[in-house]
Amino acid sequence: MKATLKIYLVIWILVYFFGAIAPGSSLFSIESKIITIFLTTIYLFLSILAFLGLYYNKPLYFIKPLRKLDYNLTISFLAICSLVGILCFIYDKTIIQGIDYSQGLAKARYQFIDNAAEREGISSIFSVLGYFLGAYCFTGLYLLLVFWDKVKVKRRILFFCIFILGIFIISLLTGGRTSVILIVTIFFTSYIIRKGWGLKAWPFSKAFGKIIIIISLIVFIYLIFIFSQRADATNSLAEFYAEKMFDWMQVKTNERFSLINKLPDSFQSSFFFLSILWIYLVHSNWIFEGIIQLNDFSGQAVFVNYRNILSKFGIVDTPQEWIFSGRFITWVGGIYHDFGIGGLIVCAILHGGIMGYSLKMILHNKGSFDPLNFLFFFLTFSISITSPFIIVIDVLMFPSILVSFVMFAIFMYIKSKIKFKI
């Protein structure tokens, strides 16, 4: 329980700290900054209070956990679904949509976005299968890390590689970075559960731990690489592209940015792209300041991806873009933008309460697969650890993960009742 709140608060503190020493600063007034800090503090206080209230509440069963589960067979099933989903993804993007990846990921992403804007509805059934089956890369990784000790040793690395590689392929095919962020949320969510169960929080051997470090470095390099690809796509020099990105993110450069020009020429480009990544990770609070200062609450900042999906099927209208569409905003800022102070209070209580209750139930049912609470804890804790950076529920794959997880849980319950083998 303490680890959950510690991670939640430490991440917020680190974001404010790195924002203060960043190679750029907010364009907006100090008054707007004070208001955003005040609103964020209210949200954090209420969500933590609700977390503690529900965590110490008496357990109440809605759906009984699955205590007898063949984890080797179950995760094998998820790995197969993931591979089928990735193949569908590749077929839809390269054959049906005809996206050309030979000219770089950034240009491919622009084709991907243009195709979506021009057509009505979905591109093909393979796209649907790609999103929903491909989402099992995330579900599979989550369950693999939590139940690491119950999976045969030789299969652990195989499954781990399948899920991680699948997530990277999805990111590469869409030319984005946000799907990779979900790897971090999955690792931390599994860490909290294992720690609460009294297991080794990071279950990896030293050798495998080194592999994790290498993967982390690859993720970091990948994020930098995407920026360089987008600079190439616009034929921009690194410094010019960085300045454009800063301006787009409502950030002004400062003396720390100018220090990059004093580095050797061979290092300058990398550090300019690194500065963009740095600002990307801290600018969300400054976008919140912009909302306060400009007093523009038009459009929709939260649940945009869900409305976009429903609009593809003609269920709802396409959501109106908000003033800083395309930038990141903190979870608190997005909630305040769409629902005001009342929505912020209600959402804080729901967020903290569901997170506390679902964790309580997971720990109470030690060693069991509790699908509903596993899903709710992943959802709410993912929001917690990404709340200073991004609205994680609007990440491209997040809606698919939620739907796929529910479908998987239903399937496993049916399997447990009628005793058939997969």
How far apart are alpha carbons 242 and 377 in whole angstroms?
A: 37
Tokens for 213, please give them: 């470090």
Closest CA to 16 of 395, 250, 330: 330
Residue range 79-138, pLDDT digits in tens: 999 999 999 988 988 888 877 777 666 666 667 666 666 666 677 888 889 889 999 999
Helix, strand, or coil here: 251? Answer: strand
Alpha carbon distance 155, 175 (integer Å): 30
Neighbours of 218 (CB within 10 A): 14
Q: Name which of 381, 290, 395, 394 is nearest 336 in CA terms.
A: 290
Domain coordinates in residue numbering, the chain: 2-418
Question: Cβ distance 10 to 44 under 8 Å?
Answer: no
- CA dist 407 to 139, 339, 371, Å? 11, 30, 10
Query: For residues 380 and 67, what is the distance between their CA atoms, to the nearest angstrom?
Result: 24
- DSSP conformation letters of 276-307: HHHHHHHTHHHHHHHHHHHT---S--SSHHHH
CA dihedral 22, 395, 369, 66 (to 10 degrees): 160
Tell me phi and psi for residue 38, to 5 degrees.
-65, -50
pLDDT, residue 422, reads 45
Q: Tokens in use for 146?
A: 């939590």
- Report for 92-101, 357-366, 412-421: range of highest mean pLDDT: 357-366
Average pLDDT, the chain: 86
**CB-count burial class (<10 Å; 0-12, 13-18, 19+) for 2:** exposed
Q: Minimal CA–CA distance to 89: which of 53, 48, 137?
A: 137
Per-residue pLDDT at 420 exceeds 90: no
Cα 89 from Cα 106, distance rounded (Å): 18
Q: Please report how many Cα atoms fall inside a 13 Å half-sphere around the Cα of residue 292, on the Cβ side.
A: 28
Question: CA 405, CA 133: separation in Å to the nearest integer?
Answer: 10
Single-letter residue type at 355? M
pLDDT at 320 (0 to 100): 84
Q: How many angstroms separate the CA atoms of 163 and 320, rounded?
A: 35
pLDDT digits (tens, 9 = 90+) for 31-60: 999 999 999 999 999 999 999 999 888 767
d(CA 186, CA 192): 10
Output the pTM of the full model: 0.87
302-307 long-range contacts, Cβ below 8 Å, gap at least 24?
302/334, 302/335, 302/337, 302/338, 302/339, 302/391, 302/393, 302/394, 303/338, 303/393, 303/394, 304/394, 305/393, 305/394, 305/395, 305/396, 305/398, 305/399, 306/394, 306/399
Instruction: Judge contact between 324 and 289, C-beta under 8 A.
Output: no
Phi and psi (nearest 5°) for 264? -55, 145
pLDDT tens for residues 140-180? 999 999 999 899 888 888 999 999 999 988 888 876 667 77
Contact 52, 356 (CB under 8 A): yes
Q: In sequence order, what are the residues at sequence separation of 6 or more whose Cβ sits closer than 8 angstroms to the Cβ of residue 337?
A: 291, 297, 301, 302, 322, 329
Structure tokens at 277: 């990544």
Beta bridge partners of 26: 251
With a pLDDT cut of 70, the percent of the chain lying above it is 87
Q: How many CB atoms lie within 10 A of CB 123?
A: 17
Instruction: Report the pLDDT value the prediction gives residue 176, as an integer from 0 to 100.
Output: 64
If one compares 16 and 321, the residue with the highest pLDDT of the two is 16
